[in-house]
Amino acid sequence: MNAELEKSPQVSAPERFACILRQFTEGQPSKRLSDLSAGAGLPISTTHRLLKGLVDNKVLVRDEDGRYQVGPLMRAIADQLEHADVAS
């Protein structure tokens, strides 16, 4: 996502959330606001607003250093998927 897309009305909130969440990996489990903003191609203010919603809903948590990490809701969903019988 880039700055032009940020201004585009066609970019939905779910797409913006996905741009943020895709940045969390096993190799990079915690991220700073500025890194998430740059990685998503969103302004810091927009990224901060989206992160607040994710933290409020326990999708992410913020540690004592101000970094964001996967929260209990995401972990619970991952656990459920890992143990679910998925029909092909």
Average pLDDT, the chain: 89
Tell me the mean pLDDT in the region 38-59: 97
The residue extents of the domains of the chain are 3-83
Residue 59 burial (CB count, 10 A): 20
Q: Return the CATH number of the domain spanning residue range 3-83.
A: 1.10.10.10
The tokens of 40 are what?
A: 């998503």
Could you give the percent of the chain with pLDDT greater than 70? 85
Enclosing H/E stretch for 68: strand 68-70
Residue 5 in this model has a pLDDT that exceeds 70:
no
Q: What is the pLDDT of residue 86?
A: 63
Q: Which residue from 51, 53, 50 is spatially nearest to 69, judged by alpha carbons?
A: 51
Burial of residue 30 (CB within 10 Å: 0-12, 13-18, 19+) is middle
